Structure 1
Amino acid sequence: MKILFVQHLYFINGTGGTEKICSFLANSFVKNGHQVEIATNEHVSGKAVFKLDDQVTVTNIYDASVHQKELIPIVNYIGRNPFLWFVHKIRKKYAKAYNTLLKKSMNGEENLFIYNLANRAKAWKNYINQVQPDLIITMSIGSLLEITYRNNLNVPIIDSVNGRPDYDFTNIFGGRKPFEVKLLEESFQNLSGIQILFDSYRNYLPSSFKGDVVVIPNPVSKNLYQVDHFKSKDRYKIIHIARLDTGCKQQHLAIDCFSKLSNKYMNWDFELWGIGPDWNRLEKQISDLKMKDRIFLKGFTESPIVKMSEADVFIFPSKYEGFGLALVEAMSVGLPCLGFKSCSGVNELIKHQETGFLAEDMDEMTSQLDKLMGDAHLRDHLGTNAKKAVEVFSESKVLHDWNEFVTKIESLFKQN
């Protein structure tokens, strides 16, 4: 079978969970004898970050000749240089005037959006016609919309949802226009099937979806690491691994929690692994707190499991998640974990007072972190339970379920 994965943005140079799962699935399907290609549409240079089998093809369909009428981003100047402030102010005024004229010439922002989308969708149709896949797996509803808008693709399509489904097509966190929400929701009609991460996520699918649903969690690689919480150390470590994005991952809250306890636990440090748009903001926060010798931004790691196995507590203060792959990996090495009770995905994975703690707010998270830092027996108890709890997310089980679902969807599509 020829399987085409579509992640229209951020696959190239991407270090997030979606890119990791896309690469994992592509490699796995190749090993099962399928022909696999990953396609994106990005005006960037670079490559896939996560290791891919030599037989997996990655294609960037970006073509500068595909006409796009782009709005100029509005950027605020945050420095203190008066000359640069003046230059940015002029640029900002120009951008606003240009954007107003462009939207007016297109009879509104909706028509501008559709014009650009339609042109990209034509490019996708031409590409898909050349590849002639037997099955398409989109890595987001946004990718689904890109390839199906005004296109009749006679191919079964499965969407792999790496978050709670409504995060993909609603305006729950702001930023999407009503016409975008409508288009995204309507695109569900083009799906033969959808993979979700938890059974409770069925409740967040739109009424426009009529295909098959399967619950398949993200996989966790089997590892031999087991944190020894009774090992004597000169220094102990709290760890966090995620994209540096305070709007979602809220690393700034974890930094505040640790800073409040730092004087009580002088032999503890805090490491944050990952890269992202808020590196400078977090670096400034750490500097302002005078914690540069205790809190460290470590950058990207290709060995998250190893880094976690060297730590003692995992803190994950996200506002929202789909599955929290780093969280499950931390549990797999026996780390007790902290998260917020209100966070989707996290509240499905952490069992409060059994595998870690779920906090109502910042004060409670700080109190829970205090308990863990001060009690090796508690860390060991919760960490041991956490390692056992994630055994159900084995790679072999995940792959078996995916193969069954792909076979089912292909068979149903042929019957229809």
Structure 2
Amino acid sequence: MVLFFRLKVRKNVFRNLYKKSVVINNPVYIGYNDYRIPKIRRKIIVNVGRLHRQKNQQLLINAFAKISDIFPDYNLEIFGDGELREVLIEQIEQLHLQNRVILKGTTKNLLSEIADASLFVLSSDYEGMPNALMEAMALGLPCISTDCKPGGARELINSGKNGLIVKRNSVEELAKAMEFMLKNKEEAEMMGKNAKEICNTHSFKKIIYKWEEFVMNLDNYR
């Protein structure tokens, strides 16, 4: 009975907190016209994130290996540093992709370096609200993301409309999605253009307004 009572109280507490909560997303600092969608894209697929198990670049490399022969002119570029660098280098060598998968490290001009890529892929197992994905969308890049926990990517991407969501940790699904985007350029560009609307929906001005609105109505959340 005691356990049941505690569970019941716990559920009620969280239910009440949920009713009194509000979700305010991170803002996008990229203006809609800061980076124009390029007419010609470089034949690269990009990923941005520290080299850590959370980001699961191993999944992305394995997925790229599955489509590398179909798209021999495309390379994969991974931006970021971390403790898995040597592990990823070994994986790349085992797959004989030394000249196709490049670990770029960090850069001061990240947005400029990825703005004309053909595809952005977020391969993470879990994320909060993924800023790297938000920035890629703001650039108008065709984007693919795993359905990383607890669901931040799914809040940003309406799969098939402004990007693609694939099952977490599925090499097959990710490879198929990458193949689809690279083979169907018109649809990919349409998704990239739709993704760029995040510059408006998550602009700094709109997010600040939501914070101001929240602060002005604090009494409603007590």
TM bucket normalised to smaller? 0.7 to 0.9
Aligned to 1:91: none
1:346 aligns with 2:156: no
Map 1:366-405; keep pairs closer than 5 Å. 366-405=175-214
Tell me which of 61, 73, 76 is aligned to 1:255. 61
1:244 aligns with 2:51: yes
1:226 aligns with 2:36: yes
C-alpha contact (below 8 Å) 1:227/1:312 kept by paired residues:
no
Q: CA RMSD in A?
A: 2.7
Aligned to 2:4: none
Question: Structure 2 CA distance, aligned partners of 1:311 and 1:268?
Answer: 10
Question: Structure 2 CA distance, aligned partners of 1:292 and 1:237?
Answer: 15
Question: Structure 1 CA distance, aligned partners of 2:214 and 2:90?
Answer: 47
Cα 1:302/1:404, change in 2 over 3 Å: farther
Identity percentage over the alignment? 30
What's the offset of the Cα at 1:274?
1.2
In structure 2, stretches of 5+ residues that fail to align are 1-10
Aligned to 1:215: 23
1:269 aligns with 2:75: yes
Question: Structure 2 CA distance, aligned partners of 1:207 and 1:374?
Answer: 46
C-alpha contact (below 8 Å) 2:30/2:199 kept by paired residues:
no
Cα 1:394/1:287, change in 2 over 3 Å: same
Map 1:296-375; keep pairs closer than 5 Å. 296-341=102-147, 343=149, 344-360=151-167, 361-375=170-184
Aligned to 1:59: none
Q: Which protein shows a greater Rg?
A: 1
C-alpha contact (below 8 Å) 1:261/1:370 kept by paired residues:
yes
C-alpha contact (below 8 Å) 2:48/2:132 kept by paired residues:
yes
Q: Which has the higher contact order (CA 8 A, sep 6+)?
A: 2
Map 1:17-416; keep pairs closer than 5 Å. 206=14, 213-223=21-31, 224-228=34-38, 230-231=39-40, 235-246=42-53, 248-341=54-147, 343=149, 344-360=151-167, 361-406=170-215
Once the two structures are superposed, residues 242-283 of structure 1 have per-residue CA deviations (whole angstroms, 9 ceiling, x without a partner) of 12112x211110111111111221111111111222222112
What's the offset of the Cα at 1:307?
2.4
Letter in 2 for 1:351: N
What's the offset of the Cα at 1:345?
0.8
Cα 1:403/1:389, change in 2 over 3 Å: closer
Cα 1:216/1:240, change in 2 over 3 Å: same
Aligned to 2:3: none
Question: Structure 1 CA distance, aligned partners of 2:185 and 2:19?
Answer: 48
Once the two structures are superposed, residues 175-219 of structure 1 have per-residue CA deviations (whole angstroms, 9 ceiling, x without a partner) of xxxxxxxxxxxxxxxxxxxxxxxxxxxx9x947969953321011
